[in-house]
Chain A
Amino acid sequence: MSSDNLSRLAVAVGITLAAYCLLAPTDFVVQVILWMALAAVIAAAMRFVMLIGEFNMATGAFYGIGAYTAGYIATSLDWPLLLTIPVAGVVAGLVALALGYATMRTSGAYFMLISFAFAEIMRLFYVESDFLGGNNGILGILVPAWIEPYYPAFVVIVCMMLIVALAVVERSHLGKIFTAIHNNEQVVRSVGINVLAMRVTCLVIASIVLGIAGSLYAYVASVISPGDFTFMLSVFALAYVKLGGDKHPVGPVLGAALLTLVAQYLLGFGAYDQLFYGIVIVMAMLALPNGLLGRLAQLRLVKPLAAALHSPGGRDA
């Protein structure tokens, strides 16, 4: 696997945090680490679909599909945790396959609009479905006793593996096709690649990852309701990506970690939360076109970082 110093550093930090979770599985810091890890996956999945030049406003919705799938089969069917998590990923992937084939035929703004509407449709579907608990959602999604002490560490490790998996795909042959579709779709078409299939593949990969992350979240929260997975979640994900920088896989992780920390320690929830995230997005747009990572690279503080950013997909080691 090719990698660069920035990615190695990020993985090292992740392992350290996972180790901390093993040592103190119940304190508040661990809760914050869990939110950071999950937010980082959502942001990474958001950025992954941005590789083909699309904004997936249903990012939060696919995370919700994973959470609801896991919640339903854990509480109503009593399946074991290690089975519900992959199933949640598969279900989210299948929904993405259907949505993608129906809506990815045109480029431009259409997918953005339809994915935004899809997030709202999923919310209506949860509210209308009695077997999913309607407005109240699903309660009592409990972590089995045998894994409980290790669960936070498990979540952090799985989140890290998901982010690494997305980064690996991005640097593979497939990832280069995704970037090429974004740069010039006609050229990709001219060498005989099925662009629609590739675009759908990109969405499906991101959605499987989101589904798995959503199922982890269901057990962390133990209560899920329709309002948890609106398009606002996608907007927050976009804020993470824009703040961290979208040129490198570590960007969204950095943005997610920073904003989650700030939101946890400086703000309550409610109106100020939205204001804060909104200001972050606008400021990042106007002042940090390439995010914090881009700004750091400009300052030449970290030489290897600049090198990693200048070749999209990092250097081949």
Chain B
Amino acid sequence: MKTVVIVGAGQAGSELAVALRQNGFSDRIRLVGAEPHLPYQRPPLSKAFLHGKADQVALRTRAPDAFTNAGIEIELDTAAVGIDRRTRSVALADGRTLRYDKLALTTGGSPRPLRFGSGHVAGRTLHTLDDAIALRQELQSGGTLLIVGGGFIGLETAAAAADMGIAVTLVEAQPRVLARTSPPAVSAFVEREHRNHGVDLRTGVSVRSVARRDGALHAQLSDDTVIRADLILTGVGIAANDTLAATAQLAVDDGVLVDATARTEDPDIVAAGDCTRQWHGFLGRSVRLESVQNATDQARTAARTLCGKPTERFTAPWFWSDQYDHKLQMAGLPQTGDTEIVRGDPSTNSFSVVYLRNGIITGLHAVNQPRDFTAARQLVTARAAMTGDEAACEDLPLSELMKRHQPTAERRT
């Protein structure tokens, strides 16, 4: 009997285990996770869960029975500390070793730590279920919240906290929020909505130091103002958990290096999700993607590879965010220099930004425009041609353009 060991019981690990069964793998599957919880979905942590609209059961990727019935052995609270590729075994923190025939690394990422000055006060982060449970409890007891970082985690948390009646200050060092991921029109909309909901949003300013006194935190900002808060949350991105791979002499470069079939340089080891830097079949370049869509999609790719039927990836990445009652959705991965075309009126609550490069759509950011988003996903995947006028014309549904551009990119099987 052959054994597949999967290290990391997040969404990628969960999906990989299930996909092995769906692809006919009938031998032993052992899924080990460092956290005490069964595999759960991370995106709702900073959205519905924090808000109290979703409970822990709703977060589960699959019912506990689903794993049991599929013969997937799960060991929680079990950290892996080493890989011996010669003996094909994984060393666990509790002293045991697990033998494998094939190994999958789905170790995810960790929030980048941020320390403020010499005060040694570290901000909290929101990445795990336990983080979210603790944060939710604190928010329910009131107080004031300072969020450092105007990315998706910071902004979603700000929205949930503001909705709960918490006084929120959010500082972002860049001149606008979502500077790394979104066009200026989307940033401006998001900033406006947060201010409308009472968030004290400050851009172009960073935290210089934090001191704890009189039972509260006092953050001194780079513009010399001081913010008093009961709690500080930092959301400044995540780093790939690639140390286990690196110490096993697998190639890493800000992520475990894998090809378009999720294979590492060791033919017996695959990797998927936030811990990887992959050669992306659709984008034609090496990228590290932090998204649940990538985690589950790459996990299914990895499972097919382990089952001896490797397939390359040809879909456009996508991502979404919920803030207040607004839905932000993104398709594709535009690059610097792509032309941005606004579609609709950004002063309303519903518009999109289309990215074009050499007359081909490379991405789209939708604000309360799910219709544009789903159509764009197909158009980007098909590398559809489009003029700037077509992109800007609100009266021309993008789904109409879809009919004109039947997908030419090879579909996965």
Bound pair (A, B): no
Instruction: List residues of B whose CB falls within 8 A of some A CB.
Output: none
Enumerate chain A interface residues (CB-CB to B < 8 A): none
